[in-house]
A and B are shown apart, each in its own frame.
Chain A
Amino acid sequence: MAEFLMPSLGADMEEGTLVAWRIQPGDKVRRGQIVAEVDTAKGVIEIECFLEGVVEQLLAAEGVTVPVGMPLARIATPEEVEPGTPRSPSAQPKPVQPKAAPPEAIPSSPAQATRQKVAPRARKRAEELQVELTRMQGTGADGEITVADVERAAEFPAPPPTQQATVSTAADDNHGPTRLRRAIAAAMARSKREIPHYYLQTTIDMARATAWLTAENQSRPLARRLLPAVVYLKGLARALRDVPQLNGFWIDNQFVPSSAVHIGFAISMRGGGLVAPAVHDADSKSLDALMADLQDLIPRARRGPLRSSEMTDSTITLTSLGDLGVDAVWGVIYPPQVAIVGLGRTQLRPWVADGELVVRPVLTATLAADHRASDGMVGAKFLEVLQRQFQQPEEL
């Protein structure tokens, strides 16, 4: 039996309100299936299940606000519902017994119900931070308490048990831009408090990329035209293959590289704020596939719903503010990522090519990276590799 917990959908999330269940007791669930909708500071998110099995019991009612790490549902894992191992020798095996929940499975006292699993590193970190482990809920595998859980608990001490689940009312003011603003404030303040950023900048000749894109779009109908953003995404993803030191997470005081390249693409919200949902596997997608991804992702980012994997999978962030007419943007890293790449607008500028003064479309690219995870050498190599990507746009 496994518990499906309220997931953390980002460094800034403390709790979520269960808007709707998409599953019922007795339903089979598979990994990646959308099982619930949860309202967060970043709007309603579709929550994907990371367990496989049969839903035994839903532990949270719709409309209830649940802290990150609290159980939402109990799911019988495949071994438990194996047809070959009936629970009673005489009766037909029943797939689920929703009414037969053992009395200890009361959501408000989960810590007493099961033996606590704590990662050794998390225990050490809890001592350092003087965090009480007894009342904590883990978000790791099988509910194991992770270092991230401990650090979150240190930052946001748990409210008394009576307040752990609250029904939100219409009077709640935690909707819309104000709440998103607060979430951004928390994440960015944490970033600047914890991450020693270093910054590099380079100017990239975009003549080839611009000419290639213009020619490509000339032969395409409106609905199939490509935006510069997909060229940026692909170029960045390719560059990260050569410089993997910037692609991944800072966890437990060390850099954990990611083999997949999921680019958080910063999308501004009408009415203020921004979200950066993941464009998955950007390194292996064609420009057309990336364009289709953006066409799906941008409206959902603005009007919902995004999916939980899109909120949590990003291994780096790209912010492209060229539309706003700025020359350059220096980003603030979204923890636990270790880098953010900023692209300004492409504009005509005097440029020296082969000793001649010419006019070229150029772009200022910046990198803000976590100095705990990498050094300026790595960052410089990355910008050079990125620059080269845009000189062979037909290869992207």
Chain B
Amino acid sequence: MSLDVAAIRSEILKGLQRIAPEADLGALNEDEDFRRALEIDSFDFLRLLTALHEQLGVEFPEADYGRLTTLDALANYIAGK
């Protein structure tokens, strides 16, 4: 699967906005820990991954969760799948 990184990013941001409707995602840095910045707990993180899996068909083994902390890392991970 070779998804456009920009399209992936927009899916991630859509998912984040659903979880954190009040957040200004424009202020989020690409290399910032978005879970910390947006106060996303493990429940919401699982919801985000589930939504991305449904939209993009990507699998996220639990062992990889720890690597998926920034917008860049998550988008590149999905693009590399």
What is the interface size of chain A, counting residues whose CB is below 8 A from a CB of the partner?
A: 15
Docked Cα-Cα span, A227 to B42, in Å, equals: 8
Q: Are B62 and A228 in contact (CB under 8 A)?
A: no
With A217-B62, A218-B62, A270-B20 in contact, do A225 and B39 touch (Cβ < 8 Å)?
A: no
Whether B49 is near chain A, meaning CB under 8 Å from some CB there, is yes
Docked Cα-Cα span, A54 to B43, in Å, equals: 41
Task: Pick the contact of A229: B42, B60, B61, B63 (CB < 8 A).
Answer: B42
Which residue on chain A has the smallest CB distance to residue B53? A222
Q: Which residues of B contact A217 (CB under 8 A)?
A: 62
Whether B41 is near chain A, meaning CB under 8 Å from some CB there, is yes
Whether B24 is near chain A, meaning CB under 8 Å from some CB there, is no
Interface of A is mostly: helix
Q: Are B43 and A218 in contact (CB under 8 A)?
A: no
User: Which residues of B from 47 to 78 have beta carbons under 8 Å from A?
Assistant: 49-50, 53, 59-63
Task: Pick the contact of B43: A214, A270, A271, A294 (CB < 8 A).
Answer: A294
Q: Are A225 and B46 in contact (CB under 8 A)?
A: yes
Q: Are A222 and B50 in contact (CB under 8 A)?
A: yes
User: Which residues of B from 1 to 55 have beta carbons under 8 Å from A?
Assistant: 20-22, 39, 41-43, 46, 49-50, 53
With A222-B53, A270-B20, A270-B22 in contact, do A229 and B62 touch (Cβ < 8 Å)?
A: no
With A217-B62, A271-B22 in contact, do A222 and B43 touch (Cβ < 8 Å)?
A: no
Q: Which residues of A contact B22 (CB under 8 A)?
A: 270-271
Q: Are B43 and A227 in contact (CB under 8 A)?
A: yes
Q: Which residues of A contact B49 (CB under 8 A)?
A: 222
Docked Cα-Cα span, A223 to B20, in Å, equals: 20
Whether A339 is near chain B, meaning CB under 8 Å from some CB there, is no
Whether A395 is near chain B, meaning CB under 8 Å from some CB there, is no
Which residue on chain B has the smallest CB distance to residue A297? B43
Which residue on chain B has the smallest CB distance to residue A298? B43
Q: Which residues of A contact B46 (CB under 8 A)?
A: 222, 225, 227
Q: Which residues of B contact A374 (CB under 8 A)?
A: none
Q: Which residues of B contact A270 (CB under 8 A)?
A: 20-22, 39
Q: Are A268 and B43 in contact (CB under 8 A)?
A: no
Q: Which residues of B contact A271 (CB under 8 A)?
A: 22
Whether A323 is near chain B, meaning CB under 8 Å from some CB there, is yes
Docked Cα-Cα span, A225 to B48, in Å, equals: 13
**A213–chain B nearest beta-carbon distance, Å:** 9
Docked Cα-Cα span, A222 to B20, in Å, equals: 21
Docked Cα-Cα span, A228 to B53, in Å, equals: 21
Contact with B along A200-243 (1 / 0, CB 8 A): 00000000000000100110001101011100000000000000
Docked Cα-Cα span, A73 to B35, in Å, equals: 46
Q: Which residues of B contact A222 (CB under 8 A)?
A: 46, 49-50, 53, 59-60
**A341–chain B nearest beta-carbon distance, Å:** 18
Docked Cα-Cα span, A227 to B61, in Å, equals: 14
Interface centre among B41, B42, B50, by most A CB within 10 Å?
B41
Closest 5 CB pairs of A and B: A323-B41, A217-B62, A222-B53, A222-B50, A298-B43
CB-defined A-B contacts under 8 Å, sample of 25: A214-B62, A214-B63, A217-B62, A218-B61, A222-B46, A222-B49, A222-B53, A222-B59, A223-B53, A225-B46, A225-B62, A227-B42, A227-B43, A227-B46, A228-B42, A229-B43, A268-B39, A268-B41, A270-B20, A270-B22, A270-B39, A294-B43, A298-B43, A323-B41, A323-B42
Residue ranges of B at the interface with A (Cβ–Cβ < 8 Å): 20-22, 39, 41-43, 46, 49-50, 53, 59-63
